[in-house]
Structure 1
Amino acid sequence: MPLGLTIYLLTILIGFIACGAVFFIEQDKVNRFSHRLLLLMMLIVLLFEIYASILVYGNGKTNVLIYNIFFVYIETIWLVAYIYLFMTQKIKRVLLIGLAGFCILAIVNTLFFQDIFSAFHNISFAYAVLFILICCILFFYEIFRLKRYQNINLLSAPEFWVITGVFFFYSSGFVYFIPIGLYQNMDQQLLSLLANINRILAGMMYLVFGFAYFAPFVFNKEVKIR
């Protein structure tokens, strides 16, 4: 297994352990549901990344199906569900419509355009990335329009860190994944370099996820996150 992949898996593991450690400190300062939702997502990400790596480097098989199911579809739905928790009712309705559109696209793409077993679903992922970025922008817009955090230190809000991490990763992920078909004829060393860059960015995002719920204790010990 390449060193870059090993380090990437370790960053996810560290993030998961850090996220789970919040259970052992004062829970009254943490949004318990959002924290558990994030922790469960971290566990699933860790397990599917390990399994995908074993398929390729242990059994010599393709992991396209695993990435399509878990990364393109399940993780997208999970992240939108997380952001959904912190939005106004009006925006929540918009997110539900967008999520329904994503599910319809997933079915159509799988049945008529891209085989889920052999082709990375970059069409669905393009929609997913754009949708997630819009969700993040709407979250930031709500912060400034409604001034929801005007009475507390914004840095003490775990959801701010999580959604900021999502925004930066998916902004760069859009560039890496959308023209996936163009990479088939690229030099293998260049492909490995791009893969490592993507893993670094993803690893940083998962580390942010892991430590985000320590924010209320670091930046404002008196704040209770809604």
Structure 2
Amino acid sequence: MLRKERYDRFVAHFAMKQPDAETELHYSNPFQLLMAVILSAQCTDKRINQVTPALFQRFPTPEHLAEATPDLVFDYIRSVSYPNNKSKHLVGMAKMLVEDFNGEVPSDVTQLQKLPGVGRKTANVIASVVYHAPAMAVDTHVFRVANRIGLTTGKTPLAVEKDLVKNLPEDIIHIAHHWLILHGRYVCVARSPKCGICEITGFCKYFQKTEKQAKKISEPDMTDKK
């Protein structure tokens, strides 16, 4: 199967099955999403959603958070991964928003990456989710699923990102990010992908490869042994 056909079938399937796919992080405005995404690094969305309500209430604006100390923020996020670093990043991010961006979350990926705690992946999430920019955030789910399906053979997150942005229709890149994440989170899981309930095995390179290998193993050896 040619890669173009694989992309076409991928888009057709998920556009029909999950037309409104979105992030599972809870937020009400761009600033809240930025805080949540910074916190979500190497942590589950479920955990972040348990932590952020109190955090959002205590620090509703960049100005409020910029006036806080990392120690104070730490008390609200102590149950997430790497709370010490993340509390410093949150305060630093808020200060820069206030001082350099008039308290507004920028839409440009390059500008976003200037903020403490914001790498390329986080910047792409904000740009795509908030501003529907054609940006593709590549986390472990996106990297794994895109390679398994056969949408890319990229060996690095950046290579995968470039392949996906190049081959997906520009107007659906921001939602395709969620298709890949959700499929990886609930079906194409890391250790034991649930191929038995997967609806895209018809164009999945990983499934076709494993099926071929299984068939080869199960077939009897018909060679004439003398």
Tell me the TM-score normalized by structure 2: 0.32
Larger gyration radius, structure 1 or structure 2:
2
Tell me the TM-score normalized by structure 1: 0.32
The structure with the largest helix share of the pair is 1
